[in-house]
């Protein structure tokens, strides 16, 4: 079976997915849609996909699946349309910034029995995937404490920070998913702290740029997440999982293994710059996994529920930090 | 000037301090007191110190300073006695498990104008001291986020856990001091989580064995501390300080730099077993610093106030976690 | 300009080059030749290249360049044929196992003014290329001492060892080229040692499996190479370049950055298995460089002379070690 | 039994040994001799040893052992005097710069049945000692290839280089001993290369400052040593031992584990400056081992024969490199 795929959205991440599909033997990119036609043309030229309208793609019975890589506020609606059209769906995270809207959308998914996978790409990073494999293989025994460090190289414009739903929904949502993935249990308790010390404009826009969260499961496992919008030394992405038998950890990736030593010491290069470089393998493997689940008829993971759970944690953290800011002002 | 020192308490940590004093040219151990005379005899034999009673040492005008290495519940009382006797005082942490008692004790110290240094030995660890030096030299700009990982190799007996004042006062108190040391500002907000998942008996004794804390200063700097009573790979002691210009971090120490590589991978030895090995340099430098401050007439640091501040954070964390446990039970 | 390429040889390395060409915008694989047609068919199917005979490819005026990935004993002859046919040539190393035959071949290349690049892929490995860039940027000052460690994961069959020309021509030839590349000067003195201690059958076949060489340039720079056909922990490929101002080194690559720690210590995974994984980027960049040199009309590097120089060092080392074995037997 | 020791030579290394003895319960420093009395006085003050003449120490029946830390050209003579006086002897390396003189000296040692240990301190470095333990425990199977990197931070004055016997006898002699220690077999073949590229004055004085040596045992095991008088990043001291089952290696030591990361990358501090810091533990353990061998009546190791074997390798390397220089000039 060759999966025939329609791509919605031909921006940066859409291009990444188009390239991943073009490298798969069991899938082909049949059509691409983007209101900005130049972007669509570029992908069409590279992959041989036709350019088409959103509705035409949704209604084409020859198309098995859609990849939703459009702006966030269109995700839920397009998931619903695709679900009703009987398409399998790969959707970039988040499904929506509002939890209620996500719940409504997932009801449609459930009613139509649609297959939905949400793009938490980091689960497919070879390093974090290996950490998960080690946990499952029993290398650390029972998981006790998860530590996630996640830092962007530099802050986004303050107006983006506001529009994005805030740090917890825009950035830490990946780490909430990673925490659930590594803990292997649902979170029942959460506590958050945040500051705007990297860029005051972000604080004025009502968001934070430095934040930490503690999570706890019913059995007492704990996770700690730290986020910052600043890391002068590159995109910092690490996890540690401590268990009853030991520790498994994934360090950052670098482009080379070169070190220069002199009277000032030993210097290794900074980390990769950002997610398009750091997670290039993850994006590819993610799409492979989606296509494989389709051709083999296995369950989609991460699922719509995974998307919802991470968002709910982000909503709680957002509210808690907002309250603390109000209190501090009062 | 040679500082003449009386040692109160000839247990494990007393011996460590006695050895540190014996290596200093500017100090000598004049007398040692311990109700268990065999312990005192051993130190006397090694250092030439006389064995004497507590009161005799306190009242000997030839003795300039005392080192208090007795059980915790005696510290406050002995500090007061020494302060009134005009001695300079080095006291093992904590001053007392009860904050009110510490405040009363520090009043006596203040009234008598006594010199008091509290034994937060980790400030003198060459690694953490270098982190502090780098911060002060501006290597990371303004401090934004401090991450402290501190794990004991294995849990103490549950009865110790109860008697010790609990994880926050017994173990994390060191990390509270380290957080204050590295943040360079007072903490104004704290949030704690704890679990007893390493040893259920510790939970039954009313304590936790796995805990995390988030701290915040008035200017918005954040610190995160994680503690566990279990680390199969050795005594895990690390700090990271993220600032506006970069990151300074201190990794764990090992006894050797040897690696064995074979078809299973590359294996380095486990970490040092526990604090007497890991902080052997710190204990020595701590005493050197105390004696140097005495001979040079400079301020004592860490001070009694430092001891109080760390205890207050531990008390707040203890209360918060206890409340959460009550709520969970209800 | 789009470079039209004919591929001679559709084995493992031929496939690697075909894939590299298919990813380039400025080149296309026009034709593929292999006496074993199934292999050629596979590449044809993947790239759209036609299957053709050797002579047809050589004589097709629409083909600009050939990639020679046939067995070693055919290289020299095919280089000559291609040179006379006016093709640019990318040839896998070595040009021939016999130095005289190489010199004859290079005469034809010179007379026909053909463009020839020899496949010393390691120069294009991002790690070693970065080492070279650092040297050229002056990071280590004047180069003084180069150390190259190169170990295969496991020995080839003894019959291969014999047929391949021996360790120095088959394996260390890469390191001879790397040494010349990093020294930046010609070697004027060489001394070699070899043993067959990994597999006695290799010794019986007249070859060695463990060998070291010292090289020296006219200005006194020194290089040391160590080779072994055994490395249980994976394919070991490292360089160190010591200069008047410091050291630049490239460590091994791993698939992940994951470490597992427990009471036995900290374990990282073994190295990548062998050259097809380790040098996957190098093979791609090598072909890019060949095509770029063609389209931009710049000089080919590494050149035929580079191929000859490395072979001459290998011949000298082979002779020296063979003599030492004779002496030892006598 | 408390071993009563006389120290000959109160220079830098003499002081190190005096301190090591003073920390041992089973030994005491009874007397110290140095023609420069100020130096002797300092040690006497610190240890309680008496100051005495060479002959008085040699003839004092209460003295069990002597430590010879005098200038190299006095070692052989003093070993003989001590051997005849029935003392156990710890002698700094080398016994003499001339192999014949060493052989004569060892004859006296043999005839008098004297106990003699030679100060190859690096065998007692905890890192290299652990490498040896791993080999003996079978961690790497049969040893196949040893790689030793040894670089001084900066060159000595050219006049020292000349007087010292040259790089091979002064510096690489430690590595010859280490190679024998790790190979576990006698060397039967040696090849050397050297250059004076760090400091031309060293070349004019007839010595080299950069050198490499290959060694081979009868069974085919190989060792490679690289030496340089320059390492801007600190005192570089590493070994790798490759065997049939894997690799055991010892990396350099640093004073702290601190790293600073910023837009220029991750920087760790330079290495320790030189041998007095790097081998501080080794010097202490070496003396402990000497005293332990005395009190327990076990064999001395490294022995006088070990001293001779390393010197013979150094002599051969010196000759070979001198010949090559002559040839190059001619």
The distance of D254 to chain B (nearest Cα, Å) reads 10
Domain assignment present for A143: yes
Please state the rounded mean pLDDT for residues C69-84.
Answer: 97
The distance of C149 to chain D (nearest Cα, Å) reads 10
Cβ-defined contact of A212 to B222 (cutoff 8 Å): yes
Q: What angle do CA C208, C214, C217 make, to 5 degrees?
A: 140
* Res C330 pLDDT > 80: no
Domain assignment present for A155: yes
Could you tell me the CATH number of the domain that includes residue B25? 3.40.50.720
Please state the rounded mean pLDDT for residues D133-162.
Answer: 94
**Both tokens of residue B186?**
């007072």
* Res A1 pLDDT > 80: no
Same structural domain, C41 and C84 = yes
* Res A311 pLDDT > 80: yes
Domain assignment present for C297: no
User: What pLDDT is attached to residue A320?
Assistant: 95
| Confidence band of C162 (pLDDT split at 50, 70, 90) | confident
Same structural domain, B190 and B221 = yes
* Backbone region of residue C206 per phi and psi (left: phi > 0; alpha: psi in -120 to 50; beta: other values): left
| Confidence band of D159 (pLDDT split at 50, 70, 90) | confident
Helix (H) or strand (E) holding D195: strand D187-195
Cβ-defined contact of A267 to D267 (cutoff 8 Å): yes
Please state the rounded mean pLDDT for residues D289-317.
Answer: 96
Please state the rounded mean pLDDT for residues A299-324.
Answer: 96
Tracing tokens 């009502």 back to the chain, one arrives at A206
Domain assignment present for D294: no
The distance of A127 to chain B (nearest Cα, Å) reads 16
Interface test with B, best of A222, A265, A271 (most B CBs within 10 A): A222
Same structural domain, B10 and B144 = no
User: What pLDDT is attached to residue B88?
Assistant: 98
Judge whether A187 and A217 are in contact, CB under 8 Å.
Answer: yes
ipTM value: 0.95
| Confidence band of A274 (pLDDT split at 50, 70, 90) | confident
Nearest by CB: C261 against B233, B263, B266 = B233
Nearest by CB: C212 against D142, D222, D231 = D222
| Confidence band of A276 (pLDDT split at 50, 70, 90) | confident
Same structural domain, C174 and C32 = no
Contacts of C271 in chain D (CB under 8 A): none
Segment C242-300, tens digit of pLDDT: 999 999 999 999 999 999 999 999 999 999 988 889 999 999 999 999 999 999 999 99
* Res C327 pLDDT > 90: no
Contacts of C251 in chain A (CB under 8 A): 257-259
Domain assignment present for C80: yes
Helix (H) or strand (E) holding C89: strand C88-92
Cβ-defined contact of A197 to B220 (cutoff 8 Å): yes
Q: Give the C-alpha separation, C285 to C307, whole Å.
A: 19
Q: Give the C-alpha separation, C171 to C199, whole Å.
A: 16
User: What pLDDT is attached to residue B274?
Assistant: 86
Q: Could you tell me which chain B residue has the CA closest to the CA of A139?
A: B232
Nearest by CB: B270 against C263, C268, C270 = C263
User: How many alpha carbons fall within 13 Å on the CB side of residue D121?
Assistant: 20
Q: Give the C-alpha separation, D66 to D75, whole Å.
A: 12
Q: Could you tell me which chain A residue has the CA closest to the CA of B324?
A: A189
Interface test with C, best of A258, A267, A268, A269 (most C CBs within 10 A): A258
Helix spans in chain B (H)? 12-22, 37-47, 54-59, 72-84, 99-112, 126-136, 158-163, 167-170, 172-183, 200-204, 275-278, 280-296, 304-329
Q: Is A288 exposed, middle or buried (0-12, 13-18, 19+ CB in 10 A)?
A: middle
Segment A180-230, tens digit of pLDDT: 999 999 999 999 999 999 999 999 999 999 999 999 999 999 999 999 999
The answer for residues whose C-beta is within 8 angstroms of residue D258's C-beta and 6 or more apart is B127, B130, B131, B134, B248, B249, B250, B251, D268, D269
* Res D276 pLDDT > 90: no
Interface test with B, best of D46, D258, D270, D278 (most B CBs within 10 A): D258
Distances (CA, A) of A223 to A175, B145, B175: 10, 17, 18
Domain assignment present for B286: no
**Both tokens of residue A41?**
């043309």
| Residue A245 CB neighbours (<10 A) | 19
Same structural domain, B102 and B140 = no
User: What pLDDT is attached to residue D274?
Assistant: 86
Segment C52-66, tens digit of pLDDT: 999 999 999 999 999
**Both tokens of residue D276?**
């007095």
Q: Give the C-alpha separation, A116 to A123, whole Å.
A: 16
Q: Are strands C222-228 and C116-119 parallel, antiparallel or unpaired?
A: unpaired
* Res D161 pLDDT > 90: no
* Res A175 pLDDT > 90: yes
The distance of A17 to chain B (nearest Cα, Å) reads 33
Contacts of D270 in chain A (CB under 8 A): 261-266
Segment D70-103, tens digit of pLDDT: 999 999 999 999 999 999 999 999 999 999 999 9
Contacts of C269 in chain B (CB under 8 A): 265-266
User: What pLDDT is attached to residue B159?
Assistant: 83
| Residue A138 CB neighbours (<10 A) | 10
Domain boundary among D60, D81, D114: D114
Helix spans in chain A (H)? 12-22, 37-47, 54-59, 75-84, 99-112, 126-136, 158-163, 167-170, 172-183, 200-204, 275-278, 280-296, 304-329
Same structural domain, B25 and B142 = no
Contacts of D189 in chain C (CB under 8 A): 193, 324
The distance of C158 to chain D (nearest Cα, Å) reads 17
Same structural domain, D148 and D266 = yes
Domain assignment present for D198: yes
User: What pLDDT is attached to residue C222?
Assistant: 98
Same structural domain, D35 and D110 = yes
Cβ-defined contact of B258 to D130 (cutoff 8 Å): yes
| Confidence band of A267 (pLDDT split at 50, 70, 90) | very high
Domain assignment present for B108: yes
Interface test with D, best of C179, C214, C324 (most D CBs within 10 A): C214
Domain that holds residue C251: 123-281+311-329
In chain B, which residues have pLDDT < 70?
Answer: none
Same structural domain, D71 and D103 = yes
Please state the rounded mean pLDDT for residues A161-176.
Answer: 93
What count of CB pairs under 8 Å joins C to D? Answer: 103
Same structural domain, D100 and D130 = no
| Confidence band of A275 (pLDDT split at 50, 70, 90) | confident
Same structural domain, B264 and B157 = yes
Please state the rounded mean pLDDT for residues A45-59.
Answer: 95
Backbone angles phi, psi at B241, to 5 degrees: -125, 110
Could you tell me the CATH number of the domain that includes residue C166? 3.30.360.10
The answer for residues whose C-beta is within 8 angstroms of residue C178's C-beta and 6 or more apart is C120, C122, C123, C128, C148, C239
b/e burial code for range A14-30 (CB count within 10 A of at least 16 → b): bbbbbbbbeebeebebb
Establish whether the linkage from the previous residue to C215 is cis, with ω within 30° of 0: no
Backbone angles phi, psi at A115, to 5 degrees: -90, 125
Q: What is the number of structural domains in chain C?
A: 2
Contacts of D244 in chain C (CB under 8 A): 198, 230
Q: Could you tell me which chain A residue has the CA closest to the CA of B148?
A: A147
Task: Concatenate the DSSP letters of all residues of A243-267 into one string.
Answer: ESS-EEEEPPP-S--EEEEETTEEE
Q: Give the C-alpha separation, C45 to C52, whole Å.
A: 14
**Taking all residues of chain A, what is their mean pLDDT, rounded to a whole number?**
95
Backbone angles phi, psi at C57, to 5 degrees: -65, -45
Segment C205-229, tens digit of pLDDT: 999 999 999 999 999 999 999 999 9
Domain boundary among B114, B146, B181: B114
**Both tokens of residue D53?**
């003449």
Domain boundary among A50, A85, A114: A114
Backbone angles phi, psi at D95, to 5 degrees: -65, -45
Helix spans in B158-244 (H)? 158-163, 167-170, 172-183, 200-204
Q: Could you tell me which chain A residue has the CA closest to the CA of D263?
A: A233
Same structural domain, A162 and A198 = yes
Q: Give the C-alpha separation, A268 to A274, whole Å.
A: 17
């Amino acid at each position: 079976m060759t999966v025939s795929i329609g791509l919605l959205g031909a921006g940066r991440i859409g291009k990444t997915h188009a390239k991943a599909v073009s490298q798969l033997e069991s899938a082909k990119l049949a059509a691409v849609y983007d209101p900005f036609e130049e972007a669509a043309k570029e992908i069409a030229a590279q992959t041989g996909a036709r350019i088409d309208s959103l509705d035409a793609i949704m209604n084409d019975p020859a198309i098995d699946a859609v990849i939703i890589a459009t702006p966030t506020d269109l995700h839920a609606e397009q998931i619903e349309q695709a679900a009703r059209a009987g398409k399998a769906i790969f959707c970039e995270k988040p499904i929506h910034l509002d939890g209620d809207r996500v719940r409504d959308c997932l009801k449609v998914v459930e009613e139509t029995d649609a297959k939905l996978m949400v793009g938490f790409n980091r689960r497919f990073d070879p390093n974090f995937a290996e950490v998960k494999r080690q946990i499952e293989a029993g290398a650390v025994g029972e998981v006790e404490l998860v530590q996630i460090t996640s830092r962007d190289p530099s802050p986004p414009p303050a107006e983006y920070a506001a529009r994005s739903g805030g740090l917890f929904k825009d950035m830490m949502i990946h780490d909430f998913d990673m925490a659930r993935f590594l803990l292997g249990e649902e979170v029942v308790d959460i506590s958050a702290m945040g500051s705007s010390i990297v860029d005051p404009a972000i604080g004025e826009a009502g968001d934070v740029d430095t934040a930490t969260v503690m999570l706890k499961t019913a059995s007492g496992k704990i996770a700690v997440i730290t986020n910052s919008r600043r890391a002068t030394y590159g995109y910092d992405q690490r996890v540690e999982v401590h268990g009853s038998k030991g520790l498994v950890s994934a360090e950052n990736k670098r482009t080379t293994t070169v070190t220069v030593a002199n009277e000032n010491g030993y210097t290794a290069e900074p980390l990769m710059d950002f997610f398009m470089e750091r997670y290039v393998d993850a994006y590819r493997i993610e799409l492979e996994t989606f296509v494989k689940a389709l051709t083999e008829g296995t369950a989609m993971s991460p699922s719509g529920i995974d998307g919802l759970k991470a968002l709910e944690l982000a909503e709680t953290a957002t509210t808690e930090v907002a309250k603390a800011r109000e209190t501090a002002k009062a």
